[in-house]
Amino acid sequence: MKIRFVTLGCKLNFAESSALGKELLLRGHQRASLQEVPDVCVVNTCSVTDAADHKDRQTINQLHRKFPDAIIIVTGCYAQLQPEQISHIPGVDYVLGQNEKYDIPALIEELEKRTEGENKIRVAAIREIDEFHGVHSADDRTRCFIKVQDGCNYFCTYCTIPFARGKSRNPRIEEVIKDAQSALDQGAKELIITGVNIGDFGRSTGENFIDLLRAFDRLKGDYRVRISSCEPNLLTDEIIDFVANSNHFAPHFHIPLQSGSNEVLKIMKRRYTRELFAERVEHIRRVMPHAFIGVDCMVGVRGETEECWNDYLSFVKSLDVSQLHVFTYSERANTRMLEMDLYVVPKAERQRRSKLLHEVSEEKTRAFYAKHAGRTAVVLWESKREGDQMSGFTDNYIKVYGPYDKSKINTFEEILSPRP
């Protein structure tokens, strides 16, 4: 059969889709090209916001209109949270939860035997999800995402992820490292450590995150490693110092702030203050002045009064970071924030605040590029061709361009960082 995967949302979803695709190839199926009509469409969904849910539904409807005879299988976070709703979307044949998504290869093998009236919803209760499915995936930029952890025990008041992904769990370090070494042996040059709450690694095995990082630094080959989003309370000084002195880790951090107001952080049930966050940024800058620091910021949550917002905006402007990833809050069913008696930010005001933070982000990124222009850095060239140019990223995540040279794809080269 010809299979088309459509993946929405986070890098973890992409890693899982890639692993499922590889399993189907091993079973003799084919990936449908963009020019081919698929027999089966697999939609791996995201449900982090209302906008994500809308995009999921829109994608499913578009696939059904374009390929009316294709079997459509929907999985991922949206499927785990709203299986009944999805099952009524025209064209949907199966809805599989987070645990059941790994049954997709077997399900496709059995499609010819399916019967009328067969239960299309296969979603285990989230409390029953305790298995860890390790995956890794390479994208078209020579990167390989290594899944080291899944689930979350934090239950922030605005977030549905614990209900969509289950409790925090992970494999043993030796299993992760075997997977990572395999990726390097297959040609990967950049490994990205990914998960839902990666700093919580070790909760289910009695190990810890810093030991996992040390093991990554001892792999064999010519490679570099990036750490994906890590909670500020789990990004310890020990971890920062280790990255600064390691052999293979890139000076690149992605840290969720969510709000720069301590009052709002308390409402969110976040596990840090803005003072701790600032300390983490300052420590990184002391030991790695050239490091790229990306920061997640949410705007318009309930309780974000005008005073809290002004406090938040002022704090973010004061941070020496490289980029903001801005998300506009949307109400999510079954979250504790909806049960709290809080000020509700009008939607138009949420959009205004989002626009302001996007402008701050652009200023910070321009300043970061300008500050490091002319610095010697190592770029990993990628395969995508843009006219007569090719591109890649430096160790501190500055995008650079050069004349297209096929022989340079997936190789490291020392260059001077460009001017913005």
pLDDT digit string, tens, across residues 208-217: 999 999 999 9
pLDDT at 19 over 90: no
The tokens describing 209, both together, are 């995150």
Closest CA to 282 of 266, 297, 293: 293
Residue where a domain stops, chosen among 328, 348, 367: 367
Please report whether residue 255 resides in a domain.
yes
Please report whether residue 174 resides in a domain.
yes
Residue where a domain stops, chosen among 72, 95, 124: 124
What percent of the chain has a predicted confidence (pLDDT) above 70? 96
Please report whether residue 131 resides in a domain.
no
Model confidence pTM above 0.75? yes
Considering the domain architecture, whether residues 275 and 242 belong to the same structural domain is answered as yes
Considering the domain architecture, whether residues 279 and 152 belong to the same structural domain is answered as yes
Considering the domain architecture, whether residues 146 and 85 belong to the same structural domain is answered as no
CATH of the domain at 103: 3.40.50.2300
Residue 197, C-beta contacts closer than 8 angstroms, at least 6 positions apart: 149, 151, 152, 153, 154, 168, 231, 234
Considering the domain architecture, whether residues 383 and 353 belong to the same structural domain is answered as no
Considering the domain architecture, whether residues 115 and 214 belong to the same structural domain is answered as no
Please report whether residue 77 resides in a domain.
yes
CB contact at 8 A, 413 and 172: no
Interior angle at CA 282, CA 280 and CA 283, nearest 5: 65
Considering the domain architecture, whether residues 37 and 162 belong to the same structural domain is answered as no
Considering the domain architecture, whether residues 180 and 299 belong to the same structural domain is answered as yes
pLDDT band at 198 (very low <50, low <70, confident <90, very high): very high
pLDDT band at 420 (very low <50, low <70, confident <90, very high): low
Number of domains observed in the structure of the chain:
3
* Domain region containing 83: 2-124
Q: Mark out the alpha helices in 128-167 (DSSP H runs).
A: 161-165
Considering the domain architecture, whether residues 149 and 109 belong to the same structural domain is answered as no
CB contact at 8 A, 104 and 20: yes
Residue where a domain stops, chosen among 124, 150, 172: 124
Considering the domain architecture, whether residues 45 and 165 belong to the same structural domain is answered as no
Considering the domain architecture, whether residues 63 and 168 belong to the same structural domain is answered as no
Confidence at residue 125, expressed as pLDDT on a 0 to 100 scale: 78
Please report whether residue 130 resides in a domain.
no
Considering the domain architecture, whether residues 289 and 310 belong to the same structural domain is answered as yes
pLDDT digit string, tens, across residues 155-175: 999 999 999 999 999 999 999
Q: Whole-number mean pLDDT of the chain?
A: 93
pLDDT digit string, tens, across residues 232-289: 999 999 999 999 999 999 999 999 999 999 999 999 999 999 999 999 999 999 999 9
Best mean pLDDT range from 24-38, 342-356, 379-393: 342-356
Residue 162, C-beta contacts closer than 8 angstroms, at least 6 positions apart: 126, 151, 152, 153, 154, 155
